[in-house]
A = this chain, B = another copy of it.
Amino acid sequence: MSELNSALHNSRFLRACRREPVDTTPIWIMRQAGRYLPEYMAVRGKVSFIELCKTPTLAAEVTLTAQRVLGVDAAILFADLLPILEPMGLQLEYAQGEGPVIHNPVREAADVDRVVEINAARLGSLDFVFETVRLVRRDLPGNIPLIGFAGAPFTLASYVIEGGGSRNYVSTKTLMYSDSGAWAALMNRLTASLIRYLNAQIDAGCQAVQLFDSWAGCLSPADYREFVLPYTKAVIAGLHSGVPVINFLTGNPALLPLCREAGGDVIGLDWRVDLADGWQTVGFDRGVQGNLDPVSLYADLPMLRRRAKAVLDAAAGRSGHIFNLGHGVLPDMNPDHVKALVKMVHEMGQRP
């Protein structure tokens, strides 16, 4: 990775990642380039979701457009959590109107043998991601960082084992409980693959990366500690140094002390926890990102403003807060409310 230029290095978002003072609270929005935006839907009118992900010019376009129309302080790569699984040997399909499906999920310990680690050669089949990063970085304003991302090992393992969405993660936990060797083998392969994948995103031009452990909230602290923490920690430790990592886990505030142990310059908080309490739990030597309940975007603007202010008040102007929703924006949300939220945060977050 080349040295950052000064404008990028001193951007609000990267300063906040390093817990340095900022003029106002930086904000970006999880799934900011998603279906709620008419500009995104215009592109989607021409191609399917997965074609969009795999066409760098289009993926770059929606990434750049979202940053520009919202006025947020960072762009986030438009991509999906699951394509990394294809070069690992999983057969992935995005059926129309359904969630993604894996046609050859891992159901028994023996199935783990056919999941292969991504080496340098296999990484090439994910070039569409790195090319998107290059195109975005080329056209993004010089003071706007680009965030790369990937699913955390547990969330990816859950997809690999369940074959799709899940309510109770029965197959995942059953494998975890019944065959710790097979579980470790799967998690080790995901871990090594993720390190290569995220470092390649950084090499292509990302200034920060976020790990999404979207499904780990179904775990008890003891299970997270035994079966998940070592792998998430290894991913974070294996990334190029000097690049901020946001470690985001949703669905269980009792895991926050373990997120701290796993690592990350910034810990993502969902809305289930009070931001001040969550920050205290993860420690003020880390940044935090969050944590407005996304459903607040359906409220009228005065109520949205009050709710955004409550999040800023909980952060108390402390350096190291990146404003975000506690989860992704939903498809039927009003883009004007999202734009208004960005303006409100920039205005109310100003430091005296």
* A binding-site residues for B, Cβ under 8 Å: 168-170, 173-174, 177-178, 217-223, 251-255, 271-274, 277, 293-296, 298-300, 303, 307, 310, 326, 330
Task: Please determine whether A298 and B253 come into contact, CB atoms closer than 8 angstroms.
Answer: no
- Distance to closest chain B CB from A8 (angstroms): 34
Known: A253-B254, A277-B254, A303-B178. A295 touches B330 (CB 8 A): no
Task: Please determine whether B295 and A173 come into contact, CB atoms closer than 8 angstroms.
Answer: yes
Task: Please determine whether B222 and A310 come into contact, CB atoms closer than 8 angstroms.
Answer: yes
Task: Please determine whether A295 and B253 come into contact, CB atoms closer than 8 angstroms.
Answer: no
Q: How many copies does the complex hold?
A: 2
Known: A254-B272, A254-B273, A273-B254. A299 touches B221 (CB 8 A): no
Known: A300-B178, A303-B178. A170 touches B330 (CB 8 A): yes
- Distance to closest chain B CB from A344 (angstroms): 16
Q: Which residue of B lies closest to A171 (CB)?
A: B298
A-B complex: 10 closest residue pairs judged by Cβ atoms: A253-B254, A177-B299, A173-B295, A254-B273, A174-B298, A252-B272, A220-B271, A221-B274, A177-B303, A254-B272
Known: A253-B252, A254-B277, A298-B174. A272 touches B168 (CB 8 A): no
In the docked arrangement, what's the CA distance between A169 and B293, Å? 11
Residues on B with C-beta less than 8 A from A273 are 220-221, 254
Taking chain A's interface residues, is the majority helix, strand, or loop, or is none over half, making it mixed? helix
Residues on B with C-beta less than 8 A from A295 are 168-170, 173-174, 177
Residues on B with C-beta less than 8 A from A271 are 220
- Distance to closest chain B CB from A112 (angstroms): 18
Residues on B with C-beta less than 8 A from A326 are 220
Task: Please determine whether A293 and B223 come into contact, CB atoms closer than 8 angstroms.
Answer: yes
Residues on B with C-beta less than 8 A from A170 are 295, 298, 330
In the docked arrangement, what's the CA distance between A220 and B255, Å? 16
Task: Please determine whether B298 and A177 come into contact, CB atoms closer than 8 angstroms.
Answer: yes
In the docked arrangement, what's the CA distance between A271 and B129, Å? 38
Q: Identify the interface centre among A174, A277, A294, A303: most chain B CB within 10 Å of its CB.
A: A174
A293 partner, pick from B173, B255, B294, beta carbons under 8 A? B173
Q: Identify the interface centre among A217, A293, A299, A307: most chain B CB within 10 Å of its CB.
A: A293
